[in-house]
Amino acid sequence: MGLLEGKRLVVTGVLTEASLAFGVAKLAQEQGAELLLTSVGKVMKNTRRAASKLPMEPEVLEFDATDASHPGELREQLADRWGRVDGALHAIGFAPPVCLGGTFLDATWEDVGVALNVSAYSLKALADAVAPLMSAGGSIVALDFDATVAWPAYDWMGVAKAALESTARYLARYLGPQGIRVNLVAAGPIKTVAARSIPGFSTFEDVWADRAPLGWNVKDADAVSKACVALLSDWFPLTTGEMLHVDGGYHATGA
């Protein structure tokens, strides 16, 4: 019996085999979960390609978290296929280039609004889709990069992650009476497609392994996948509104 035996999970954010969400999806299947993936627009073909590399190829449904009609449409599709949902992984994030890389003061509200909508409000949109189908309770887990400090070059994406963290806490408050847990996994830097788009990402890469008490490998996301799967399982029944650091202990050290 795996940790997720019999669980039905919705996984967002699988773009390639290097995506953090792909690692979570793969381990979830190995632990007994049944999956549906979501993607959007032109990248759906990439998601389908990555899905074919999983142990069991899941269906890919379209979900644009910035489209007000999509949460309801996704909910209807999930209800038709499954009737219930047990868990969901939020791995959605985007910011226009001007929002990253040291141009913090140049970004306009139009730029910042995109980052906040896609990277933070999308968690609420995903909850709108899945929470009504969590009739027996459930778990929503969001991937995060700790926004309690100002990181070099992360700029408005850091602000968006701070909004994501606050959104998770409020969702935990309002969904808790339904037995739905909402938690974050604050991962250390991992070399993904998204990470490569961040100017100055090598700054994190250079210092993280030296400062993290347990060490850190930017090419190894296994620990992140295990943390997400554990939170999606029944092994944290009374944990919600939490940010679980999976960063080798970096967050606990001084500069």
DSSP-based three-state secondary structure for 134: coil
**The tokens of 241 are what?**
């509104």
What the chain holds in terms of domains, given with CATH numbers, is 8-252 (3.40.50.720)
**Long-range Cβ pairs for the range 78-81 (8 Å, 24+):** 78/10, 78/36, 78/129, 78/130, 78/133, 79/133, 81/36
Q: Sheet with 59-62: list strands edge to edge.
A: 59-62, 34-39, 8-11, 87-90, 138-144, 180-187, 243-246
Q: What is the mean pLDDT of the chain?
A: 95
Q: What's the confidence (pLDDT) of residue 205?
A: 76
Active site residue 121: no
Task: Considering the candidates 7, 26, 124, 161, report the single residue annotated as catalytic.
Answer: 161
- Cα–Cα dist 189/208, whole Å: 8
Q: What's the confidence (pLDDT) of residue 193?
A: 67
Please check the confidence at residue 198 and state whether its pLDDT lies above 80: no
Of the candidates 115, 102, 205, which has an alpha carbon nearest to the alpha carbon of residue 159? 115
- Cα–Cα dist 132/76, whole Å: 10
Active site residue 170: no
Q: What's the confidence (pLDDT) of residue 254?
A: 73
13-63, pLDDT tens digit by residue? 999 999 999 999 999 999 999 999 999 999 999 999 999 999 999 999 999
Task: Considering the candidates 154, 174, 219, 250, report the single residue annotated as catalytic.
Answer: 154
Q: What's the confidence (pLDDT) of residue 196?
A: 66
**What's this model's pTM, rounded to 2 decimal places?**
0.96
pLDDT band at 200 (very low <50, low <70, confident <90, very high): low
